[in-house]
A = this chain, B = another copy of it.
Amino acid sequence: MSRTWNFAAGPAAMPDEVLRQAQAELLEWRDARASVMEISHRGQAFMALAAEIEADLRALAGIPPHYKVLFLQGGATLQFPLLAMNLARPGQRADYVLSGHWGDKAAREAAPYVEVHIAADARASGYAALPPRADWQLDPQAAYVHYTPNETIHGLEFHQVPQVGDVPLVADFSSSILSAPVDINRFGMIYAGAQKNIGPSGLTLVIVREDLLARATRPMAAIFRYAEHAAQDSMLNTPNTFGWYLAGLTFQWIARHGGLVAMAARNGRKADTLYAAIDGSGGFYRNPVAPGARSRMNVPFFLVDPALDGRFLAEAEEIGLLALKGHRALGGMRASLYNAMPQEGVDALVDFMCDFQRRHG
């Protein structure tokens, strides 16, 4: 047994260096004489760590001072209603641009709290292309415009931040955060579950423009209010301290390996390698997404004969290419290529795909 190439969509592979450091200091962190899991989040040591981590993230992602950074729980799914409760006043309308499963879910979960308007929907294309910007029906009075920059299941990605005028743009960046530089100033709010590019599951990152925090005027529990979390430095309640710590190790890992520009280059090369293998297979493998909308992070692909799926997965697993089974909604295969997946892993996958095709094509 040994660690191999893990293409899981999330919870996903984490950098070896991060896991090895966490392992080494799991029982005794710095001079705490205890695990980082066992110390008070409000103690000096953890507060200092939290401040370091936020500073590292701000430097890495270029987060301007007028944005708050929150380390919360509940995944992106909990943010679906919370962002509507916080960014819209009751009765206000919000525009949702759907490019796959997650955007659709975000809209449905927000519906009890805001008048959801579907401004555009990739469904018409069978999720093979992004809805052209010219067709979006945006309302300049909307509370916000929500979209999903990368759709994990359908494998569609926006490679440019859309222009939406003065309405705050809100983005579920769960599956592409920190995979490439992004101009934070273009957004009202960015949020992301950690379990793909940041760390383990159970931690959620929210980056929100400070002036938007005042919008949450409806009566609600303090724990639902971003302004309260911001005022208390994400310590309104006991945070996921171990997840937060691992996120910090991951931010350092990204910085050590060249930051977001280097990640973008690596991620681009990895995706190019895999799409080239798929497109060059003469139809044995197929990815249905229009080239300009293809995700760099999640590559769904289908074998020409679905009867071979089981054998493909079994042989792949045998040689240590793990978690390639596609999402149950689509079937087929999916390879997720987050930051922690090296080029070497993608090369191993492509070699196997060529070999499999030679034997079964």
CB–CB A238/B38 < 8 A: no
Complex interface: chain B residues within 8 A of A224 (CB): 81
Contacts of A109 in B (CB 8 A): 221-223
A33 at the interface (CB under 8 A from B): yes
Measured between beta carbons, the chain B residues less than 8 angstroms from A40 are 8-11, 323
The answer to whether A12 has its CB under 8 Å from any CB of chain B is: yes
Q: Which of A79-95 contact B (CB under 8 A)?
A: 80-81
Q: Which of A203-243 contact B (CB under 8 A)?
A: 203, 219-224, 236-243
Query: In angstroms, how far is the closest chain B Cβ from the Cβ of A30?
Result: 9
- Number of A residues near B (Cβ < 8 Å) is 66
Given contacts A27-B19, A33-B3, A242-B242, contact A236 B38 (CB under 8 A): no
Given contacts A77-B223, A323-B40, contact A34 B3 (CB under 8 A): yes
Are A22 and B11 in contact, CB atoms less than 8 angstroms apart?
no
Is A169 an interface residue when CB atoms closer than 8 A count as contact? Answer: no
Complex copy number for this chain = 2
Contacts of A19 in B (CB 8 A): 26-27, 35, 37
Stretch in contact with the other chain, from A194-202, A255-263, A300-308 = A194-202
A97 interface contact, C-beta 8 A:
no
Is the Cβ of A35 less than 8 Å from the Cβ of B8? Answer: no
Interface residues of A in 34-49 (CB under 8 A from B): 34-35, 37-41, 43
The answer to whether A12 and B27 touch across the interface, beta carbons within 8 angstroms, is no
A322 cross-chain contacts in B, Cβ below 8 A: 33-34
Q: Which residue on chain B has the smallest CB distance to residue A6? A: B34
Which residues of chain B are near A6, meaning CB under 8 Å? 33-34, 38-39
The reply on A268 being an interface residue by CB < 8 A is no
Q: Is A183 an interface residue (CB 8 A)?
A: no
Residues of B within 8 A of A243 (CB): 202, 240, 242
Contact A27 B38 (CB under 8 A): no
Query: A73 near B202 (CB under 8 angstroms)?
Result: yes
Residues of B within 8 A of A110 (CB): 221
Q: Which chain B residues lie closer than 8 Å to A112 at the CB level?
A: 219-221
Interface residues in chain A, defined as those with a beta carbon under 8 Å from any beta carbon in chain B? 1-4, 6, 8-14, 16, 19-20, 22-23, 26-28, 31, 33-35, 37-41, 43, 73-78, 80-81, 108-110, 112-113, 193, 195, 200-203, 219-224, 236-243, 320, 322-323
Question: 7 nearest interchain CB pairs?
Answer: A202-B240, A77-B237, A81-B221, A73-B73, A23-B26, A37-B200, A109-B221
* New A-B pairs, 13, CB < 8 Å, besides A201-B240, A201-B241: A3-B33, A6-B38, A11-B40, A11-B238, A12-B38, A19-B27, A33-B322, A40-B323, A43-B323, A73-B73, A76-B237, A112-B221, A193-B238
